[in-house]
Structures are given as C-alpha cells and as structure tokens.
Structure 1
Amino acid sequence: SVQREQGIIQQEIEMYQDDPDSRLFFATLANLYPNTPLAADIVGSEKSINNIQLNDLKDNFTTFYKPVNMSLFLVGNFDVDTVEKYFSQKKLGDLEEMVVRKEKLTLQAVKETDSLRMEVSSPKLAVGIRGAGEVAEEDCYRYNVLLKLLFTMMFGWTSERFQKLYETGKLDASLSLEVEVNSRFHFVMLTMDTKEPVSLSHQFRKAILNFTKDSDLTEEHLDLVKSEMFGEFFSSMNSLEFIATQYEPVDRGETIFDLPKILQEITLDDVLEAGHRLIDDGDLIDFTIFPS
C-alpha cells in the first residue's frame, strides 16, 4: 500500500540524515545551489512524502514509465539478434514522445561557509566550487575528464600537497573527489576527514584560486595521472556492472568508451584552460561537520 511505502521511505530519510558523509555532500550541494531543485533532498521530506497520493503515483507511471522514454543499454554475453527479436515482438503500448521542459537553473549567491554538529569522531570538511554558465552536451564528458585530471594533480595522492599533509597527520586516505558536469550545471567537491578543517579549508581555497602557480601542474605529473586513469579504465572494463552504471547515453558527444582517445589528446594547456573555465568565474565554499 501507499502508506506502507511511505513508512519505508521515511526510514530511508532518517538513515541518510544519520549518515555524516551523506549529510556533508548534500549540505554542501545545497549551499552551492541554494533555492534550486539541487538543494532539495532527493528522497524528499516527511511532508512531501506524506502528501503523495495513489493518483500521483499512477499519473507519474503512465507519464514516464513507457518505452519511448527508455534508453536500453545491455552489457554482457548475449545474442544481439535474439534481443532484437524479443523486443520487436513486444507490445510497446503508447509510443507518443513526451517533451519535458527543463527549467534553467537560476544561480543565486552561494553560502560561502557553513557547518553543523553531529556524532563523528573527527571533523569532516567539504570544499566545493560551482561553475558558472552551461556546458554544451557534446563537451560534458571531456570537460569532466579535464577537471578530474586538474584536481587529481593538485590534491590526489601523487601530489606534493597530499603527501605533506598525509605525513604530518593533517589528512588521511578519506580524501575524495567528486566532479559533476551536466549541460545545466557543473561543480567540483573535495571531501575529507581532518582534525584541522579550518586550516585545510584555507589551504585548499588558496590553492584552487592560485592553481596556475601550483608546482604539481607539470607535463610529467599529467602523464603520471593520465597513466593511472588509463589503468583504472582498462581494469574497470572487466566489470560488467561498472560499464552498465558508468555509461551515459547522449545524443551527441563523447562517452566513457572514448576515454582512451581523450586521454591521448589532452595536453597540459587543455587542463589549465578547463581550470580557468571553472575557477575564474566560479564560486568557492566550504562546509564542516564538527563533533557534537
């Protein structure tokens, strides 16, 4: 029943609210994009869940859950002709294509510094940067790769910065990089556990704003990081689950299968140009979870 499902979702909401890493990510995202759909909790709120009626579910199902809205991507050992024959014989029902109008995100001023307290053993820090403007769909994947290379060179385990902070106990292996590039929005987020969140936030902010002077942005380091990304890519190709979940169908542009070619073509100047595109007109924030 609807009420039973509402109860299950309420439990999921509580679970996410009790997860410090989840709270850190979504709170930072909300402060990067205040008063937009990105600031809303993806699982909803107690009020929004309780307002759902059976007719709402039926309307959504008949509107969205139909073959014309589906992108089918199969991975594994199967016979293509058999699959095509199976679907050609299926009754697909309503094939009228629905046009979904996506509202343009209206960017408002970010909340530059914020924090909350939770039951954590060590403070958790997130440093996020929001890019300005939209990105052409055909450029999204390559731009994503460029930003991953840039921030990995500056903050990844092969960087001088990470090694120094790790050796002094100010940072550990919890450091994580999230890069999201969509045609309507794009951002980069670094999250980490650290006993010195204020100091590290200052260091990371300063490094990002002055990225062109970073000693780790060299041809040699770029080759090293590209080689590492190459290795991870080919290793991941052994995982059907990875391929199925990482592939994103696009009408035009590049996908994960173009990664080897992209890495071969990318130069240090390309990486620096991507950095300017994100950082010069971007907005930088931090969010900290302190022990209660």
Structure 2
Amino acid sequence: MEKNYYPSINETLYTEVLPNGLEVMLLPKEDFHKTYGLFTTNYGSIDSEFVPIGQKEFITVPDGIAHFLEHKLFEKEDEDVFQKFGRQGAASNAFTSFTRTSYLFSSTDNVMQNVETLIDFVQTPYFTEESVQKEKGIIGQEIQMYQDEPNWRLFFGILNNMYPKHPLHIDIAGTIESIEPITAEDLYTCYNTFYHPSNMNLFIVGKMNPEEMMTFIKENQDAKEFPKATEIKRHFPKETADDIIKEDGITLSVNRPKAIVGLKGLDTPPVDGFERLKYQTTIQLLLQLLFGMSSENYLAMYNSGLIDDSFSFEFSFDRSFHFADFSSDTDEPERFANQIINYLLKSEDSPELTKQNLDLAKKKMIGKHLKSLDSLEYIANQFSGMKYGDTTLFDLVTVINSIELNDIKAVHQSFIRPEALSRFFIYPEER
C-alpha cells in the first residue's frame, strides 16, 4: 500500500492497485464521524461504440444504456439494495455522467458492512427481460421530465451545436425511443466490458483505519474470480471546426428568452497528468478573470440589464472533449451572445489579464478549494474526475501556485478561437 502525504492540505492518501486491477484509494479523516464510499467505473453515456470483451468487432449500443445499467444494478433477485443500505444505517445513491458511473453510500455506523455491500452489489449483476421492460417506463418518465426543463434543453442545445457527431450531444439518459430496444443481454454486454475491476476505482473517505480497511477490501476481492483484464477499445466520430453548428434555437414555454454561447476546445490537451490538470485550471482562471463577478465585462452586462443573476459560465473537461459555455436569461438573447463573443475575441489585450488580478484569482480559487475539502461528499465526487495519472485533486494547490500570467496568455491563444464558437437560443412560444 502506497502512502502519499500532501503537506499543502495536511492529508494522507493510501493507494493500492489490487491483483485484479482495481485501484483502491483511502483518505482517513479522524475528525469526522461519517464515512463516504464511492465505487466508480470509467464508463459513461458517450461510450456507445466499443469492442465487447471477448470479441473483435465494434458494436453500437442504444443511447442511454449506461444510465439504464446504473438503475438496474440496484435490483437483485431477492432484495432491494436501497433497503439493505437503509437497514445498515446508510444512505445510498448513484449517478451517471458522460464518462463515468458511480455508486455511493454514506454512514456513521457499520462502515465495513456498508463497504462490503457497495462492492458486492456492483460486482453482482442481475438482469432479466421482465425487469428491463418494467424499467423502461420509469426511465421514460425521467427522460420526459428533463425534456420539460428549459435549462437542460439549453445545455444540450449548445452541445448539439458543438458536437453534432460526437455522442456528447445526446442526453445521458438517452431518449424514449433509444431505450426501447435495450435488452438484458445488452446490459450484460456493457457490464462485462466496462465493469471489470481494472476499469474501476474505489474511493473511501472518512473515519477509518486505513490498514484494516485495505485488508478488508483485498480479502473481499481475493474471494472473487474475474476474467483477465483486456484493453477497452472505444470509438468516437472525428470532428473538426467545420462541423460546428454556428447558431440554432427552439421555442419553449418560458417567460423570458434564454441564450448560451459555447466555446469548443479544438486543441488536444496535454497528456502528462500535472500538465493536464494545469491546463484545466489555467482555463478556469482565465474565464474567471474575464467573466467573474468582479470583472469589468460582468459588471458592464449586469449594470446595463443585459444579464441578471441567472448568468453563469462553466468549463467542462474530460476525456475526448472540453468546452466552455456562457448562459443567461435575457430580454436580448442575440445581443447577449454577440457581447460574450465580442468579449472573448477581444480579450487577448483585456485590462483584466494582469498579474495582480491573477494573483487575487488564484488566492480565491485556493481558498474555495480548501474550504470544499471540509466536505467528504465533495472530495469523493471530485476525486475520480480530477485524477490524471499520479496527479490528483490534492495537487490542486500546487498546480494553482504554478500558474503564471504567461500560462494564461498561452492558453488564451490556443483555446479562444472564432471558429470554435457557437450560439443557441430558447425563445418563448408566443415569439
């Protein structure tokens, strides 16, 4: 078991890769009464075209199947997993993203028992055609609920503009039509390919003895048999800037128009773990400098009434994609989009990009990060998404401190490009 101490945050992480390939990470926090466990597979909604384990040819599975599989894993032949966790004093849940599926619990008692339940239920699939058919109605209602949510439609509208060929533009849950042909056999194909321990990690944070916990997990895995690990082959369509849809929109039952601007990352990010996290963090700092609440750009738009408190911007960074988006409710959606684009394209010489402003933004980011580390849920949920090789969430302070103004300007030049921009609008139905 490897022991890594992070002096900047005074935390010690225990890590071991088990013989079956499962990566186990333990973060003991003696001052907490609660323990939080997260079991994650590197498999999400975009992984719809792949070579199944034991086969040689690529197949394409129905959209939404990763999310469907997440739902079905909780149902067993003779018990309900949620009820079992409840009897053991734990809360449990799961979520599917574009690239990962995670199963979790939190508890103050029966920690070992809950860890065992978490591992065992994820590693014991049980699917029948009858239960699969029943689940389609439940998930269909969930899909419809999101289709009626304007901000969800706005987000996927801009994704469809930026990634018209890539499965990123497809709703994580799929569509009512796409989930209809899913069978139990399809679920087993995806499960056997992506739920091998070598494609998964187990992260536990909270009150525990790390040596005892690691021994307990190893004994659990040693008692099980798994096929030999093989490389997972995924396929994603090739896209260029020419494929980007520059503008689109829809009408919905909303009181005010909504607008969103997307900025697609066209360059390939660094491969090295530290540099990759630095690239991600540098762009986040750049956007904060240009559009944070104390920036001149934000204040000008807010004071003129072009935006209100609904304005937000995000940077999303994951395998096979990265992009920024800027959105707001606004009475002048086209002018909002034009203003955002104008600020972006003319920002190379922005008065906001100074060493003084950068130093202040870095201090704010470090302060927010350190405060977030008081939350076990934040640590667990963010850790697997910010793990690049040996570089982790706990290296973030070091990464932030390493960023200089020339890094901001370099990433500005590569990321903010006119051919990478797109706009999407939602107008009230009466328009």
CA contact (8 A) 2:267 2:414 kept: no
- Check 1:68–1:252 CA distance in 2 against 1; reply closer, same or farther (3 A cut): closer
Corresponding position of 1:69: 199
**Matched ranges for 1:105-254 at <5 A:** 105-108=237-240, 109-137=243-271, 138=273, 139-248=275-384, 250=387, 252=389, 254=391
Summarize the Cα distance change of 1:254–1:131 in structure 2 as closer, same or farther, 3 Å threshold: same
Q: Is the 8 A contact 1:142 1:262 kept in 2?
A: yes
What is the aligned-residue RMSD (CA, Å)? 1.7
Query: Shift of the alpha carbon at 1:29?
Result: 0.8
Matched, 1:94 2:226: yes
Pair 1:103 & 2:240 matched: no
- Identify the residue that residue 137 of structure 2 maps to in structure 1: 7
Counterpart of 2:261, as a letter, is V
Amino acid at match of 1:289: I
1:111-145 deviation line (CA, Å, top 9, x unaligned): 11111111112211111111213223323321111
Q: Greater shift after overlay, 149-158 or 171-180? A: 171-180
Ranges in structure 1 where 5+ consecutive residues have no aligned partner: none
Q: How many Å apart are 1:223 and its aligned residue?
A: 1.8
Q: Note the C-alpha offset of 1:94.
A: 0.6
Cα distance change, pair 176–92 in 1 and its aligned pair in 2 (3 A): farther
| Alpha-carbon distance, 1:171 to partner | 1.1
Identical-residue share of aligned pairs (%): 34
Separation of aligned partners in 2, 1:95 and 1:282: 46
- Structure 1 residues 173, 15: closer, same or farther in 2, change over 3 A? same
Deviation at 1:183, TM superposition (A): 4.3
Matched, 1:272 2:409: yes
Query: 8 Å contact 1:134–1:183 — kept in the other structure?
Result: no
* Letter aligned with residue 222 of structure 1: L
Provide structure 2 residue ranges, at least 5 long, that are not aligned to the other structure.
1-130
Asked if 1:39 corresponds to 2:169, the answer is yes
The SS at the match of 1:231 is helix
TM-score by length of 2: 0.65
Secondary structure of the structure 1 residue equivalent to 2:399: helix
Q: 2:47 aligns to what?
A: none
Aligned equivalent of 1:259, options 378, 396, 410: 396
* Worse-superposed segment, 15-24 or 184-193: 184-193
Aligned residues: 292
TM-superposed deviation, 1:228: 1.4
CA contact (8 A) 2:165 2:237 kept: no
Give the CA deviation at 1:169: 2.0
What is the Cα deviation at residue 98 of structure 1?
2.7
The equivalent residue for 1:288 is 425
* Aligned 8 A contact 2:163 2:239 in 1: yes
CA distance in 2 between counterparts of 1:253 and 1:13 reads 37
SS in 2 for 1:178: strand
Alpha-carbon distance in 1 for matches of 2:152, 2:258: 11
Cα distance in 2, alignment partners of residues 161 and 281 from structure 1: 19
Aligned structure 1 segments of 4 or more residues deviating by more than 6 angstroms: none
* Larger relative contact order (CA 8 Å, sep ≥ 6): 1
1:252-274 deviations in Å (ceiling 9; x for gaps):
25322111111211111111111
Residues 278 and 403 in structure 2, CA contact (< 8 A), matched pair in contact too: no
Q: Which string of whole-angstrom CA distances, capped at 9 and with x for unpartnered residues, describes residues 40-72 of structure 1?
A: 222112222110112212222333333232211
